[in-house]
Amino acid sequence: MTRVSFDNMKKPTSYSDTRGASDGLALFSDVVIAGIAPGGGLFVPNTLPSFSLDELRAFAAMPYWRRAAAVFSRFGVDFSSDRVDVLMRRAYGAQWDDERIAPVEEVVAGMHVLELWHGPTSAFKDMALQCMPLFFSEAVERQQTRGQLAEDFLVLVATSGDTGKAALEGFADRDHTSIVVFFPDRGVSDIQRKQMVTQRGDNVGVFGVRGNFDDCQSAVKAAFADTEFTEWLKTKHALRLSSANSINWGRLLPQIVYYVSAYADMVAAGGVKPGEAMDVCVPTGNFGNILGAYYARLCGVPIDRLICASNENNVLADFIATGVYDISERAFVTTPSPSMDILVSSNLERLLYHLAGAEAVSGWMRELAQDKRFRIDPETFRAVRELFVGDFVTNDESLCTIKRVYDETGYLLDPHTAVAWEVAERTRGENPVLVVSTAHWAKFGTDVLKALLGLTYESDLPSDYAGRTGLELLAEVQAIAPHAGRIPLGLAALDELPVRFTGVVEPGRDGVEGAVREWLG
């Protein structure tokens, strides 16, 4: 058993949950393995660190992995600081295409872009998923050594594109884990499909599902709920299921790090005066990324306004405007920023817990389940309004923004970042703004090409582009936009990599379970 020691905290931080059902004693390693709390709530830390300005400024001189290790240690994770160092060097190492990991670029005066897409899959999910599986794997090993756990874990993921690839990359060849990903066979882009079906690693599986993302998700959920199946996994294969999804605290903590890091870089580069505040504008889906900024703010990072940018699925912008979260009559819209297409923003529950407490949250979540809507009380609403600004951008507006910003600055935005950029411009006040960029443009090249050609979202590409692969379309983008820069290596090689996975299964529980059984052999 490793002896645990801490730099700045005497005891490891314990966790409660947003609905008040757990005993409040769980530690970081426990909550990473458990994912969701008993009773369906989300784990939240019982104590938070507080960073002084000197401490924040000192981060600027450190490599990113050391910044991450320092933040984790200050959050009281139950791993020795030596182990945290080892894991962070691995998480934020040579697999990133920029050694700064999460660099900040000032694109126009006062508007700084935080680039979160330098990881192996070229999108922001890498920030968390290059890190969390290392801690997960180590936590499992420790519980097994102590005799608290007999099984390894099988991570099952339903994906509409980005998350699946980032999770595959994160869990590939990690001890004590394996991962099987299901994606809608016709519902992902050429590049997204190739990213997944060429995935390396001995512990990974990838299947298409004949259906849409909803079909994938409900089939995977049904497999989780099938006790006969989970018992079979346990007894025959010594495996437990895990989802490793974005409500896992192990994915949230790495998302606090880059706000701490960005503030240090902004001060060092003169983008903000020491101690003065920046605004943060985040393209938001499940509310995880912007919640990282909220926690950073709680911990003393000088952040003034938290600007929540939505696409046409604007339930959050409405919530911030009205205090009512209402999906009772809301239709799901497809947009060029699919990773923000969401109706239930799960991580919002953590914000509401910190503002109103477990009892209020439990009530609201019950209302949401029953009536598909809830209204927060006036006091909590006031607190939300003091912290958050919300706005949304239509599909065509986001494409126009890509073209306009490129024409004006030579910086090419992906469609998710374009939503944040547009909202940041509209809501700008006195403070410098950190616009959070969540994907490299090449990940969503077809819609970026449409934008540069001045097309609307609904229109098709002109017929001379018919039959091109995703990568060939990226070359067209580069021809039109010479300052766009190079294609990230992980994407550029895709047409040459061997396809490892070709399986397609029927939608529904049996399809998913059959795939897993076959994959396990």
Ligand X SMILES: *Cc1c(COP(=O)(O)O)cnc(C)c1O
Among 13, 261, 438, 446, binds ligand X (CB under 6 A): 438
Among 120, 164, 205, 288, binds ligand X (CB under 6 A): 288
The interface region with ligand X, picked from 194-202, 230-238, 271-279, 287-295 by CB under 6 A, is 287-295
Q: Are 71 and 48 in contact (CB under 8 A)?
A: no
29 near ligand X (CB under 6 A)? no
What is the rounded (10 degree) CA torsion for 283, 289, 292, 296? -30
Under the criterion CB under 6 A, does residue 13 sit at the interface with ligand X?
Answer: no
Among residues 429, 423, 437, which one has the least CA distance to residue 308?
Answer: 423
In whole angstroms, how close is the CB of 290 to ligand X at the nearest point? 6
**337 phi/psi in degrees, rounded to 5:** -115, 70
One-letter identity of residue 502: T
| Count of residues touching ligand X (by CB under 6 A) | 17
CB of 381 to ligand X, least distance (A): 21
Q: CA 102 to CA 115: how far, in whole Å?
A: 5
- Beta bridge mates, 303: 278
User: Tokens in use for 404?
Assistant: 């306009």
**Cα–Cα distance between 126 and 166 in angstroms, integer?**
6
Stretch that binds ligand X, among 55-63, 231-239, 282-290, 357-365 (CB under 6 A): 282-290
Q: Which stretch binds ligand X (CB under 6 A): 194-202, 283-291, 375-383, 490-498?
A: 283-291
Q: Does 286 bind ligand X (CB under 6 A)?
A: yes
CB 137, min distance to ligand X, A: 23
Instruction: Confirm or reject binding of residue 349 to ligand X (CB under 6 A).
Output: no
- Other Cβ atoms closer than 10 A to 128: 29
For residue 125, the SS3 value is helix
Are the C-beta atoms of residues 224 and 230 closer than 8 Å to each other? yes
Q: Which residue in the list 125, 194, 403, 443 is annotated as catalytic? A: 125
Cα 1–132–206 angle (5° rounding)? 120
* Part in contact with ligand X (CB under 6 A); list of ranges 39-47, 148-156, 221-229, 279-287: 279-287
- Contact call for residue 123 and ligand X (CB under 6 A): yes
* Using rule CB under 6 A, residue 279 touches ligand X: no
Query: What is the smallest separation between the CB atom of 15 and ligand X, expressed in angstroms?
Result: 20
Q: How far apart are CA 241 and CA 229, in angstroms?
A: 10
Residues of span 405-424 touching ligand X by CB under 6 A: 416
Among 119, 285, 302, 432, binds ligand X (CB under 6 A): 285
Extended strands (E) in 267-393: 278-283, 303-310, 324-326, 373-375, 388-392
List strand residue ranges (DSSP E) for 381-511, in order.
388-392, 433-437, 504-505
Site for ligand X in 234-273 (CB under 6 A): 246
Nearest Cα neighbor of 311 from 251, 245, 401, 246 is 401
Using the contact rule CB under 6 A, the part of the chain among 78-86, 91-99, 286-294, 499-507 near ligand X is: 286-294
Question: How far is Cα 85 from Cα 192, in angstroms, rounded to an integer?
Answer: 32
**Helix, strand, or coil (residue 278):** strand
Q: Specify whether 125 is catalytic.
A: yes
Residues 64, 287, 294, 411: which binds ligand X (CB under 6 A)?
287
Stretch that binds ligand X, among 23-31, 175-183, 280-288, 389-397 (CB under 6 A): 280-288
Tell me the closest approach of the beta carbon of residue 456 to ligand X, in angstroms. Answer: 21
Binding mask 43-82 for ligand X (x = CB under 6 A): ----------------------------------------
- Asked if 289 touches ligand X (CB under 6 A), the answer is yes
184 binds ligand X (CB under 6 A): no
Q: Give which of 406, 116, 432, 424 is closest to 269, Cα–Cα.
A: 432
- What character string, x for contact with ligand X (CB under 6 A) and - otherwise, covers 325-344? --------------xx----
Contact 120, 490 (CB under 8 A): yes
User: Within 10 A of 24 (CB to CB), how many other CB atoms are there?
Assistant: 11
Report if residue 124 touches ligand X, rule: CB under 6 A.
Answer: yes
Binding mask 155-174 for ligand X (x = CB under 6 A): -------x------------
Please give the backbone phi and psi of residue 454, each rounded to the nearest 5 degrees, phi first.
Answer: 75, 20
Give residues in contact with ligand X (CB under 6 A): 123-125, 162, 246, 283-289, 339-340, 416, 438-439
- Give the residue numbers marked as catalytic: 125
